[in-house]
Amino acid sequence: MDFQKLADVLEELEKTASGNAMREILAEFFKKVPAEDIAVVSYLTLGRIASDYDDVVLGLADKSVLKSIAVAGGIEMSKVDKLMQEKGDAGLVAEKALENKPRTLVPLGKLTLQELFDKLHKIASISGTGAQEQKSNILVSMLQKVSPKGAKYVIRILLGTLRIGAGDMTVLDALAIAYTGDKKNKEILEAAYNICPDVGIIAETLARKGLKGIEKIDIHVGRPIKMMLCQRVEEIEEIPEKIPGEFAVEAKYDGERMQAHKDHNGKITLFSRRLENITAQFPDLVKEIERQVAGKEFVIEGEIIAVDEKGHHLPFQTLMQRRRKYDIEKYMKDIPVLVKVFDVLYWNEKSQIHGPYKIRTQLLTKIVTKSKHVMLADKIVTDDISEMDEFFHDMLKEKYEGVIVKSLTGEYQAGTRGWNWIKWKKDYVKDMSDTLDLVIVGAYHGKGKRSGVYGALLCAAYNEKEDVFETVCKLGTGLTDEVLAELPKKLAKYRLNHTPARLKVKKEMEPEVWFEPKIVVEVMGAELTKSPFHTCGSGLALRFPRFLQLRENKKAEQATTSTEIEQMAKK
């Protein structure tokens, strides 16, 4: 299939402000896509060339990209640099540069979707001496085969700045409409996606085998499973109402949630909550898990915690220093880690997720041998709320965040915020029940001391039922000079010149700059109140919001939901 057809659709989507309209446009396009191309189209529609967990890095420097544009357009580098200064978007630079391409530069045929996909993977695979030049030459060859509009989207896909606002759920909705004629079937696709978070596999399976094929998708070791999420309550007395009888109470740690996969070849892969491959950052942990966890194949979950030489728990920010590409050996020595294992999802050719928590954790006790760096999560089993409260305060003394209460009979609900798990944190004893993880969707230019940076941010919660983001506060307090200087750089690649397609916002709250919903921040506030200006739930706003930290370990769709905020407000 000609890439130009996708470029035309991306152009239409970029001009579309309605999420529902986006789904219809995509669905109509998907109907025309050959089955052999639907996986590629699904990735490219999201501005990717693989799933998040595949960890494919194109590694083409911005300067090399601009050089490729100059060569493909037959113009001087100085003109390309000037265009970049004017437009701030390499995609728009490519479109402009190729509009005036000299007639002597004859197009070298048409760029197909598969060729684009294959060449981008080729770029990602090249390393070593002369890599940038080789990558640049491949990019030039692609740009010479596309229209100016096509060039814009080739560059944006390559740089990960597509900016059309489509998310994974948007694509699943469109696939359901295109292949089943009923958007309600998205629930079946989403259930499969929670076990197999790869839109390419979901799309191709649906195109070739229909819903019956989708329903057969199961755990595959080496491919992460979307992690189960916790519900929350406002009063401790609500917990036995939601989970009657005996329940487990586990410590909630201030670390990084991790899923460890061991395949039949003995290879161990670690995935983060965002489903990123973090194996390279924790080679010491890989060796420990290999030694301490029995089984030919397994998928286990736990929390990675940074510790000092005495084994005392260190803050999350310290642990994040381990998330680096270089000096790994040095940081292994400076910041040792341990993992507290709390669940097993697969073991020796058998899925465990549909079994009760009690049976899963019994299996854990048999396969995990405790060591200094691998151990089971701290836990009690009780039916007494006062005993749970005592354990909760013991965990606070250990500098942990609180506890998670788990149903002994509950299955593992991948990707779902279910009542089988309920979190109870130290923040719940404050005036406001909890901190919120909100998504930056806009910004307002700073004045006075904040001149030249963003003075405030427009933040939103996630409405998971409608797959939209709803505004809940304007955030300006708590932003340090360091964070203020950092934010424009972090947000630049997500900047839009229009309202994000999946955003509900009222005119009174329109910011001066829009952003694709990507970056999550943790925010504390005084209370939740009704507001005529915000769109969260029934029209709720967070009063006196205060920035606490960036939550780079969370995706936008893992932010606090509008439903959760409604529940908090009712209390």
Q: Which two tokens stand for residue 532?
A: 């005529």
pLDDT digit string, tens, across residues 340-391: 999 999 999 999 999 999 999 999 999 999 999 999 999 999 998 889 989 9
> CB 479: neighbour CB atoms within 10 A?
21
* Closest to 198 in 3D by CA, of 405, 80, 53: 53
Radius of gyration of the chain (CA): 25
Question: Which H or E run includes 457?
Answer: strand 454-463
Domain boundaries, the chain: 48-159, 229-429, 436-570
Q: What is the pLDDT of residue 428?
A: 63
**Does residue 429 surpass a pLDDT of 70?**
no
Per-residue pLDDT for 230 more than 90? yes
Contact between 362 and 330 under an 8 Å Cβ cutoff? The reply is no
CATH of domain 436-570: 2.40.50.140
pLDDT for residue 255: 94
- Model confidence, pTM: 0.85
Q: What is the pLDDT of residue 103?
A: 55
Helix (H) or strand (E) run with residue 521 in it: strand 520-524
Encode pLDDT of 146-191 as tens digits: 999 999 999 999 998 888 888 899 999 999 999 999 989 999 999 9
- Angstrom CA distances, 454 to 277, 387, 507, 511, stand at 32, 47, 20, 11
Residues of the chain with pLDDT > 70: what percent?
97
pLDDT score, position 152: 96
- Identical fold at 48-159 and 229-429? no
- Tokens for 370? 């405790």
Q: Which CATH superfamily is domain 229-429 in?
A: DNA ligase/mRNA capping enzyme (3.30.470.30)
pLDDT at residue 431 tops 50:
no
* Each residue's pLDDT tens digit, 250-259: 999 999 999 9
Cβ-count burial of 431 within 10 angstroms (0-12 exposed, 13-18 middle, 19+ buried)? Answer: exposed
Give the helix/strand (H/E) hosting 256: strand 256-262
> What pLDDT, on the 0 to 100 scale, is given for residue 223?
97
pLDDT value for 107: 56
Task: Find the catalytic residue in 101, 252, 262, 554.
Answer: 252
Contact 114, 145 (CB under 8 A): no
Whether 235 shows a pLDDT value over 90: the answer reads no
Q: Compare 447 and 186 and report the one with higher pLDDT.
A: 186
Task: Note the pLDDT tens digit of each residue in 522-552.
Answer: 998 888 999 999 999 999 999 889 999 999 8
pLDDT of residue 243: 96
Average pLDDT over residues 494-512: 92
Whole-number pLDDT of residue 433: 52
Taking 80 as the threshold, does the pLDDT of residue 434 lie above it?
A: no
- 252 assigned to active site: yes
- Provide the mean pLDDT of the chain: 92
Amino acid identity, residue 249?
V
- pLDDT on residue 102: 61
State the pLDDT at residue 91: 93
Rounded mean pLDDT, 49-54: 90
For residue 76, pLDDT over 50 is answered with yes
372 phi and psi angles, rounded to 5 deg: -65, -25
pLDDT tens per residue across span 22-34: 999 999 999 999 9
Check: CATH 1.10.3260.10 for 48-159? Answer: yes
pLDDT score recorded for residue 245: 94
Q: How confident is the model at residue 104 (pLDDT cuts 50, 70, 90)?
A: low
pLDDT for 55 equals 80
